[in-house]
Amino acid sequence: MQYIAQCYAPELLGGSPERCAEIDMVYAQLKECKQSITGPCYTGGDRRKLTELAKQKMKPIVEYLGKKEYLFGAELSFLDFYMLEQCEFVEWLTEQTFLSENKPLGRYIKRMKGQKKVKAYMRSDKFKEVGLFNNTSAKINGPLN
């Protein structure tokens, strides 16, 4: 995502060294969260336990977002797109309860999907809503299960 932003939308990278550092810190938190709940999907982890783990791991990120418009205030960053995907996976994992339990996060997702270019992409024939976040070897949310 950083490479794509560097090539096509450098304004999504942060702009200042301080903001870039903040983005790096939140990215590390999100990445650790994603790895901790995605890994067990490949080894046949218990979906109920993963649901609880996902809620626990996402809690500090949801608190960090708070009532801000985007992760870093009014400015959209490339990490907001990573967050969107992570939230959609956790929403699937929790059987559509995560966003209703975290109302500000639901509004955040709506704002993200309401972005002019995101909306246009989602309406195009290039967009495919498959609901899969893992590849074929995953035992949870893989295309073969």
Domain boundaries, the chain: 2-123
- Give the DSSP per-residue string, 60-78: HHHHHHTT-SBTBBTB--H
CB atoms within 10 A of CB 10: 11
The whole-angstrom separation of Cα 56 and Cα 33 is: 9
The whole-angstrom separation of Cα 12 and Cα 4 is: 10
Please report, for the chain, how many H helices and E strands are present, in that order: 7, 0
Q: Scanning the structure block, which residue is given the tokens 């495919």?
A: 128
* Fold (CATH) for 2-123: Glutathione S-transferase Yfyf (Class Pi); Chain A, domain 2 (1.20.1050)
- pLDDT tens track for 98-128: 999 998 899 999 999 999 999 999 999 988 7
- pLDDT tens track for 44-93: 878 899 999 999 999 999 999 999 999 999 989 999 999 999 999 999 99
